[in-house]
Amino acid sequence: MKVDLLSKIEERSAKIGIIGLGYVGLPLALRFCEENFKVIGFDSDLKKVNMLNQGISYIKYIPSSKIAPFLSPAKPIFTATGDTSKLPEVDVIIICVPTPLTDKREPDMQYVEKTAKTIAEYLRPSQLISLESTTYPGTTEELILPILERKNLKVGKDFFLIFSPEREDPGNEKYTTKAIPKIIGGVSPECLKVGIALYSKIVERVVPVSSTKVAEATKLLENIYRAVNIAMVNELKMVFDRMGIDIWEVIEAAKTKPFGFKVFYPGPGLGGHCIPIDPFYLTWKAREYDLATRFIELAGEVNISIPYYVVEKVIDALNKRGKSVKGSKILILGVAYKKDVDDIRESPSLKLIKLLLDKGAIIDYNDPYIPLLPETRKYNFHMKSVELTEKSIKGYDCLLIATNHSVYDYKWILKNANLVVDTRNAIKELSSKIVKA
């Protein structure tokens, strides 16, 4: 069976199934299509399914023109569906579903577990299952494998199971899916061999590791490293601000050192689908071994506190101008979690909106990439992006730059604003109107 699947992969006749067509699954699906693999994309959101089948993208940095060629009636190689009964039609099943945290900051594995049970229902011999969702070490073998083996199919013989963590960076034109090395860990040597054969067709470099646990831990290390270093510069931002030192100037000077220093920047808090969440997966798992992950916990405490610090800076800035935050009109510039994307997952802007509303402020937002604020697991503001005009800007007591989109004309914004609280160092020039936060 392994030989048949390997031959199909080599000949590009293997059909690929991808469960979850978001910021990870959709680029991956298109990458397989570029290499002439037929792909079925599965998603429970039928609105997304219908858009994709019409050749319409719902992700800003993926143009619709990149999808349309794969839907050609003459040679269609991509289709989207919400019908999981089609899973037996594919030779490879790649899981790209969310792995959020619960309210108690514990892993919420409901999407992974539900997906595994669905796959098990339709699992047939000679299929490869790849989990790409970021998770704690042991998930693939302790959670997924027992579910899949309920049909009396044996891993490494009847089907193959690997973990290959996603490494997508939405909007990054330099590091595309093809250019980012792919970590692969297999449940068995046979599983690893099939996984390497598959991913080597779509990425420039495959990095095999000794187990799925190593692959799972690798992804966590990458994101914990970033979370800890971002916490450090965020803490230094608050310390240096008290000392009258500009953290941004310090960073620019420090990064001239050609060795031993990697630059990280402070901001209004952590955002995105990885860094605010993934470190706590290891924290949770470490408790099974009677270990405390103190660096992770401390970094989490610092990063969680940053939106509160920003709000205090807004309050202080308004006070110095004789205004109370209650009743003040504040415009949030940018609600995406980072610049030039339309992704609001775990965006600190949402927390800032909530905190300022709780203080009695009147809040609007502008984001050219997010015309309407969608409902999230935590927030539902029923807000839409307001237009930026000279008149509208002058009508706000404070502009809070939360996301430094490149399309903003910061000189024009500063000229017309009464007060700007800048969390991203977006405005470089000195002005009594600007408060860094």
Rg (CA), the chain: 24
Q: What are phi and psi of 80, to 5 degrees?
A: -115, 150
Give tens-digit pLDDT for 248-278: 999 999 999 999 999 999 999 988 777 888 8
User: Concatenated DSSP letters for 5-16?
Assistant: HHHHHHHT-PPE
Separation of alpha carbons 149 and 412, rounded Å: 62
pLDDT category at 39 given cuts 50, 70, 90 is: very high
Mean pLDDT of all residues in 389-402: 97
How confident is the model over 124-140, as pLDDT tens digits?
A: 999 999 999 999 999 99
The confidence score (pLDDT) of residue 142 equals 96
Question: How much is the average pLDDT of 227-250?
Answer: 96
Q: Average pLDDT of 403-413?
A: 96
What is the tens place of the pLDDT at every residue in 183-221?
999 999 999 999 999 999 999 999 999 999 999 999 999
Please write the tens of the pLDDT for every residue from 315-354: 999 999 999 999 999 999 999 999 999 999 899 999 999 9
Which residue type occupies 184? I
**Residue 37, SS3?**
coil
Q: What is the pLDDT of residue 151?
A: 80
Domain ranges, ordered by start, for the chain: 2-210, 229-436
Distance CA 118, CA 313 (A): 49
pTM as predicted: 0.91
**Is residue 319 within 8 Å of 353, Cβ to Cβ?**
no
* CATH number of this structure's domain 2-210: 3.40.50.720
Residue 1, pLDDT above cutoff 60: no
What fold, for 229-436? Rossmann fold (3.40.50)
The CA distance from 231 to 299, in Å, is 5
Tell me which residues are annotated as active site. 274
The mean pLDDT of the chain is 94
Q: How many CA atoms lie within 13 A of 143 on its CB side?
A: 21
pLDDT digits (tens, 9 = 90+) for 136-160: 999 999 999 999 998 889 999 999 9
pLDDT at 3 over 70: no
Residues 6 or more apart whose CB falls under 8 angstroms from that of 432 comprise: none
Residue 171: C-alpha distances to residues 131, 200, 240, 346 (Å): 23, 23, 32, 17
Q: pLDDT tens for residues 74-117?
A: 778 999 999 999 999 999 999 999 999 888 888 999 999 999 99
345-380 confidence digits (pLDDT tens): 899 999 999 999 999 999 999 999 999 999 888 899
Residue 171, pLDDT above cutoff 80? no
- 3-state class (DSSP) for residue 87: helix
Location of structure tokens 């979690």? 337
Contact indicator for 418, 396 with CB cutoff of 8 Å? yes
